[in-house]
Structure 1
Amino acid sequence: MSVEQGRPLPFGDASFELVSSRHPVSPDWAEIARVLTPDGTYFAQHVGPESASELIEWFLGPQPREQQLGRDPEREASAARAAGLRIVELRTARCRMQFFDIGAVVYILRKGVWWVPDFTVERYADRLEQLDACIRAQGAFVTHSTRTLFEATRRP
């Protein structure tokens, strides 16, 4: 089920023993805590800080540090605690992503439209040609995908 950002979840208090999510943009910790039963679990994979930053910055240039703070696992954990959740596990992994041809880069930028929001091949033709030359010279372009595992429980 998908719920519009900022809207309450359409469920009663303490309705679920488990709430899960994959890549929430901005978890509504108070709503998560509200719908969990006492000792209920929130289990999710969040996008971590600076995910794919090397690729994003190739096209957009250096990005403001403040932009990544919302994805900081410790800040998210602090907000979860403030909403009455207890952090059971918080684990971040930074995984290597390799692009071996420019077609794969174009594909991922068309799928992950939030990385380079105004991306088109025509608009970024010069940067794509430069990246293609780098891939051919070095064998691959490397960036990193960051993910954070969250497990939290509602305090009884």
Structure 2
Amino acid sequence: MTGSRSFEELVAEAEAVSVEGWDFSWLAGRATEERPSWGYQRAMGERLARASAALDIQTGGGEVLAGVAELPPLTVATESWPPNIAKATALLHPRGAVVVADADEPPLPFGDAAFDLVTSRHPVTVWWSEIARVLRPGGTYFSQQVGPASVFELVEYFLGPQPADVRRARHPDDARRAAEEAGLEVVDLRAESLRTEFYDIGAVVYFLRKVVWMVPGFTVAAHRERLRELDELIRSEGPFVAHTTRFLIEARKGGA
């Protein structure tokens, strides 16, 4: 998708665009990512339709939750980043859902056994003991998470080879262990590796500005030469290919 546009034009455009919220529509036609086979939003919606009280943790801009057809009578979402809080509030308040500003640190600002469903898509941190605490007996935690070494072809292009412990971080086996230690029973755990392609250097810049933990401290100024080399590579050889890793975990609290 680079066409005749120069490196400088593509980078300047991607550097100027807003990266608020968790909407990646700016990348349409510029990058593609396979989706997991389980269809998280659809499956989340099915569970929300059966719930009476639900909590969506780290809701981002609220886009995923707002896209569900039916919300429970009591629906609450938490978010820590002020621009996302504003965006999520605008999307979710008309649906009757409340957005709570939360620092993503324990404790969650809710009483024990407050919810029969807790959801989270791509949480940065997971406080398993807190999830277990706010779930009612028989309640469920349902989450799609980023797996180990996700998009590391791109990460290592900029940062170089990463240590084994860094590559293994966010492994689904660790999530299972942590859930069980918190007293939850894992009833489903699935993982997939998904092909991701970047068609121009602007897509790379936008992605790294938005997903800030991929290349910590990323700026165009600090990485301009490496970006220029990658631009030349894409122009000569085609899309830059990486692999996104995702896993789905569903855990139940006993006692019902």
Superposition TM-score, scaled by structure 2 size:
0.58
Aligned to 1:60: 159
Does the 8 A contact of 1:70 with 1:76 survive in 2?
no
* Superimposed CA distance per residue, residues 103-123 of structure 1 (whole angstroms, 9 cap, x where no aligned partner): 111111111111112222221
1:3-152 mapped onto 2 (5 Å cutoff): 3-152=102-251
Does the 8 A contact of 1:49 with 1:146 survive in 2?
yes
Distance 1:64 1:93 in 2: 22
Does the 8 A contact of 2:149 with 2:169 survive in 1?
no
Q: Which has the higher contact order (CA 8 A, sep 6+)?
A: 1
By how many angstroms is 1:136 displaced? 1.4
Identity among equivalent pairs (%): 54
* Superimposed CA distance per residue, residues 115-142 of structure 1 (whole angstroms, 9 cap, x where no aligned partner): 1122222211111111112111221100
Superposition TM-score, scaled by structure 1 size:
0.94
AA of the residue aligned to 1:127? R
Higher strand proportion, which one? 1
Distance 1:118 1:83 in 2: 33
Distance 1:69 1:14 in 2: 33
| Residue ranges of structure 1 left out of the alignment (5+ in a row) | none
- Matched residue count: 156
By how many angstroms is 1:10 displaced? 1.8
Does the 8 A contact of 2:143 with 2:249 survive in 1?
yes
Higher helix proportion, which one? 2
AA of the residue aligned to 2:236? A
By how many angstroms is 1:26 displaced? 2.4
* Secondary structure in 2 matching 1:124: helix
By how many angstroms is 1:20 displaced? 0.6
Distance 1:43 1:83 in 2: 15
AA of the residue aligned to 1:148? F
Does the 8 A contact of 1:100 with 1:139 survive in 2?
yes
> Compared with structure 1, are the counterparts of its residues 155 and 69 closer, same or farther at alpha carbon in structure 2 (3 Å cutoff)?
farther
* Superimposed CA distance per residue, residues 74-125 of structure 1 (whole angstroms, 9 cap, x where no aligned partner): 0111110011101111111111110111111111111111111222222111
* Superimposed CA distance per residue, residues 29-83 of structure 1 (whole angstroms, 9 cap, x where no aligned partner): 1111111111100001111100110001000101122124440100111110011
AA of the residue aligned to 2:139? G
